[in-house]
């Protein structure tokens, strides 16, 4: 509903009941291009936002959703569609998997589970937030099924699991069906639509459910700020086509804008190394994690949670690319030329890198680690085996085996600057043939993320791009490759222990392809309680303000499960809130 400025300023019974109508509200309404009002206003139209919108509408509320992008879905629609849901879902029951909310809660708060580098997956989870999640899982599973989500397999498994609990299988996978993939812009081959999991499989059914219940989704509407009166947070100021829009919430505002990993200064509060060269955050350029919702919350007095989980060396907080030569090089996401955002992504990348075919060098042309080294570990069903819940034995029985490629890549060049700088995969024409790559656009992005030359010295000189803040000395690259080739002759890498280096880099043309670590999951965000209400620095509820999904902190789990659950909790609570 669009309402006139006059009717808003008059206030009326509904507005008075909502606790708005203070002088601060009247000041803020000036100059707005338009004003709108709803019971519940949801910020962000991804996994958490859609769940919040549908839950609020089902509870009888009028709902407006603001989405900054020209398209819905956020990281949710880009995702692989895996959704961890347990606690005794009907799929678990049918498969004979004994799970309960108590077991799920125990799993997600088990202090004793550590990765092989010693980092605990669950120790710093907020118990109230996890309890609420555990108790609502079955409801969320049923909610998705009720709205038409189809699973690729009826039986839960542990595929794609990422901090989802060690005891039992909980992973469900939403089938893409006939929806086009936003990654490729294309429908999946009909024979595989029922067995291919991807985000559209749950995002589009939720969008349809929202629309069927009268939810208004306003695209290209970007939250700029929130406004708080003595009654709580009741007003959103957004921009639409460079004009200001005021939106009023009678009952509640749900921040579901995702995390802050694309905001360099926000993320550097947690990890000083995360400087600007980490410029291909997973999910971008379809949806951006600019921390705008979190910052808007902080500006009205919210507090943060999840600092440890944000920097914890487990799961997919930061990942090692397995596709190279493109800015957007998250391993599990290759943009296809027909994707609606390919004009922004520019290249697909060279995929399936066999790390025997390349060496990694840093900004100054030096190797820094065994290229075959992996990224951090993750916990899912059966990862710790044997498993005794909450027992000292779990950590004791783990064989210490740190995966430090990422840390070495982010260590920098020792010149007093933060950030590891660009990481380049260096390879030759023989590697291209072995990999069957075509190293031309749009497979690679020659605009700073891919270079080629006839000699290694020329290649080093050509590597010029914004994040290469010092030139790569040609002599370094030449010496690095010569030394590596000698390791191939010797059959052993005496610098970094790469298992039996196999191929020399010796036949031009030579290539340098962007292979810089990729930031993925945010695990810090606004501090919430069990009802997804945002808390201030005194631990008190900020009336009317909610956060869900990656905008919320305190929960160390990858993805869609917590986003859907917290969105649902927030939307329903806001709808039923007495204003």
Give the residue with the Cβ less far from ligand FAD, 68 or 505.
68
How many whole angstroms separate alpha carbon 440 and alpha carbon 436?
12
Give the residue with the Cβ less far from ligand FAD, 200 or 561.
561
Candidates 99-107, 272-280, 440-448, 555-563; binding stretch for ligand FAD (CB under 6 A)? 555-563
Please give the C-alpha separations between residue 19 and each of 16, 234, 531, in angstroms, as whole numbers: 5, 8, 21
Interface with ligand FAD, residue 74, by CB under 6 A: yes
Candidates 117-125, 282-290, 301-309, 395-403; binding stretch for ligand FAD (CB under 6 A)? 282-290
Name the nearest CA neighbour of 410 among 314, 273, 296: 273
Interface with ligand FAD, residue 333, by CB under 6 A: yes
Give rounded-to-5 percent helix, strand, coil for the chain.
Answer: 30, 20, 55
Interface with ligand FAD, residue 256, by CB under 6 A: yes
The correct pick among 111, 240, 332, 467 for binding ligand FAD (CB under 6 A) is: 332
Nearest distance, CB of residue 520 and ligand FAD, angstroms = 7
Upper half-sphere CA count for residue 466 (Cβ side, 13 Å): 7
Candidates 101-109, 187-195, 304-312, 327-335; binding stretch for ligand FAD (CB under 6 A)? 327-335
Candidates 15-23, 367-375, 439-447, 559-567; binding stretch for ligand FAD (CB under 6 A)? 559-567
The correct pick among 37, 144, 176, 282 for binding ligand FAD (CB under 6 A) is: 282
Interface with ligand FAD, residue 44, by CB under 6 A: yes
Interface with ligand FAD, residue 46, by CB under 6 A: yes
Interface with ligand FAD, residue 140, by CB under 6 A: no
The DSSP result for 280-345, as a single string, is --TTTTTS----HHHHHHHHTTB-EE-HHHHH-SSTTSEE--SSBSSS---TT----TTSTTHHHH
Helices (H), 95-248: 101-108, 127-146, 200-212
Element (H, E) at 569: helix 560-576
Select the residue whose beta carbon is closest to ligand FAD and give its number.
46
Give the residue with the Cβ less far from ligand FAD, 159 or 474.
159
Interface with ligand FAD, residue 48, by CB under 6 A: yes
CB 122 within 8 A of CB 108: yes
Annotate each residue in 289-308 with x if it binds ligand FAD (CB under 6 A) or - if it does not, as one string: ---xx---------------
CB 361 within 8 A of CB 367: yes
The correct pick among 42, 45, 91, 353 for binding ligand FAD (CB under 6 A) is: 45
The correct pick among 306, 365, 543, 561 for binding ligand FAD (CB under 6 A) is: 561
- In sign, the C-alpha dihedral spanning 181, 186, 188, 193 is positive
Candidates 279-287, 429-437, 457-465, 530-538; binding stretch for ligand FAD (CB under 6 A)? 279-287
Interface with ligand FAD, residue 501, by CB under 6 A: no
Burial class (CB in 10 A: 0-12, 13-18, 19+), 569: buried
How many whole angstroms separate alpha carbon 376 and alpha carbon 380?
13
Nearest distance, CB of residue 196 and ligand FAD, angstroms = 12
Interface with ligand FAD, residue 36, by CB under 6 A: no
Helix (H, G, I), strand (E, B) or coil at 279: coil
Name the nearest CA neighbour of 224 among 206, 208, 242, 207: 242
How many whole angstroms separate alpha carbon 86 and alpha carbon 9?
48
Nearest distance, CB of residue 457 and ligand FAD, angstroms = 37
Give the residue with the Cβ less far from ligand FAD, 52 or 398.
52
166-197 as b/e: b if 16+ CB within 10 A: bbbbbbbbbbbbebbbbbbeeebeeeebeebb
Subset of residues 169 to 228 that bind ligand FAD, contact rule: CB under 6 A: 222-223
Give the residue with the Cβ less far from ligand FAD, 167 or 257.
257
- In sign, the C-alpha dihedral spanning 407, 408, 409, 412 is positive
Helices (H), 463-559: 474-490
Q: Which residues in this chain contact ligand FAD in the complex, by CB under 6 A?
A: 43-49, 66-69, 74-76, 78-83, 160, 222-223, 256-258, 282-283, 287, 292-293, 330, 332-333, 549-551, 558-561, 563
């Amino acid at each position: 509903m669009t309402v006139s400025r006059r009717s808003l300023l008059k206030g009326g019974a509904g507005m008075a009941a909502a606790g708005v109508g203070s002088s601060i509200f009247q000041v803020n309404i000036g100059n707005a291009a338009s004003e709108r009002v709803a019971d519940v206003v949801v910020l962000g139209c991804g996994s958490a936002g859609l769940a919040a919108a549908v839950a609020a509408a089902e509870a009888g509320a009028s709902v407006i959703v603001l989405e900054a992008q020209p398209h819905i879905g956020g990281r949710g629609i880009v995702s692989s569609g895996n959704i961890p849901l347990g606690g005794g879902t009907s799929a678990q029951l049918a498969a004979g998997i004994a799970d309960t909310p108590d077991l799920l809660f125990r799993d997600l708060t088990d202090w004793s589970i550590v990765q092989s580098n010693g980092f605990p997956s669950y120790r710093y989870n907020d118990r109230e937030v996890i309890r609420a999640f555990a108790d609502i899982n079955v409801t969320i599973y049923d909610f998705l099924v009720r709205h038409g989500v189809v699973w690729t397999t009826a039986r839960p498994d542990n595929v794609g699991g990422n901090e989802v609990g060690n005891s039992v299988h909980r992973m469900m996978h939403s089938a893409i069906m006939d929806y086009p993939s936003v990654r490729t812009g294309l429908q999946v081959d009909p024979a595989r639509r029922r067995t291919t999991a991807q985000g559209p499989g749950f995002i589009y059914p939720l969008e349809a459910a929202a629309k069927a219940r009268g939810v208004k989704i306003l695209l290209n509407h970007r939250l700029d700020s929130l406004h708080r009166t003595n009654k709580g947070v009741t007003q959103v100021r957004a921009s639409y086509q460079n004009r200001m829009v005021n939106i009023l919430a009678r009952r509640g505002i749900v921040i579901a804008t995702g995390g802050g990993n694309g905001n360099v200064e926000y993320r550097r509060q947690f990890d000083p190394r995360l400087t600007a060269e980490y410029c291909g955050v997973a999910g971008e350029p379809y949806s951006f994690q600019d921390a705008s919702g979190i910052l808007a919350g902080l500006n009205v007095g919210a507090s943060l949670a999840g600092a440890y989980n944000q920097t914890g060396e487990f799961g997919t907080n930061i990942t090692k690319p397995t596709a190279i030569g493109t800015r957007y090089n998250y391993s599990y996401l290759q943009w296809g030329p027909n994707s609606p955002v390919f004009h922004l992504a520019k290249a697909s990348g060279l995929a399936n890198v066999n790390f025997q075919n390349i060496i990694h060098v840093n900004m100054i042309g030096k190797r820094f680690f065994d290229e075959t080294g992996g990224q951090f570990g993750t916990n899912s069903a059966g990862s710790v085996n044997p498993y005794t819940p909450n027992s000292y034995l779990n950590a004791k029985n783990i064989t210490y085996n740190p995966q430090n490629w990422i840390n070495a890549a982010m260590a920098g060049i020792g010149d007093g600057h933060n950030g590891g700088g660009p990481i380049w995969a260096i390879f030759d024409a023989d590697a291209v043939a072995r990999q069957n790559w075509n190293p031309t656009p749009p497979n690679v992005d020659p605009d700073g993320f891919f270079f080629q030359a006839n000699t290694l010295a020329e290649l080093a000189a050509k590597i010029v791009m914004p994040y290469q803040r010092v030139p790569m000395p040609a002599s370094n690259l030449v010496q690095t490759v010569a030394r590596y080739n000698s390791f191939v002759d010797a059959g052993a890498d005496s610098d970094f222990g790469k298992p039996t280096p196999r191929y020399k880099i010796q036949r031009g043309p030579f290539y340098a392809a962007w292979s810089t670590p990729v930031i993925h999951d945010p695990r810090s965000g606004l501090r919430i309680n069990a009802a997804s209400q945002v808390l201030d620095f005194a631990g008190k509820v900020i009336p009317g303000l909610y956060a869900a999904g990656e905008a919320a902190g305190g929960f160390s789990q990858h993805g869609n499960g917590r986003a859907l659950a917290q969105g649902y909790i927030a939307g329903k609570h806001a709808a039923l809130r007495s204003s």
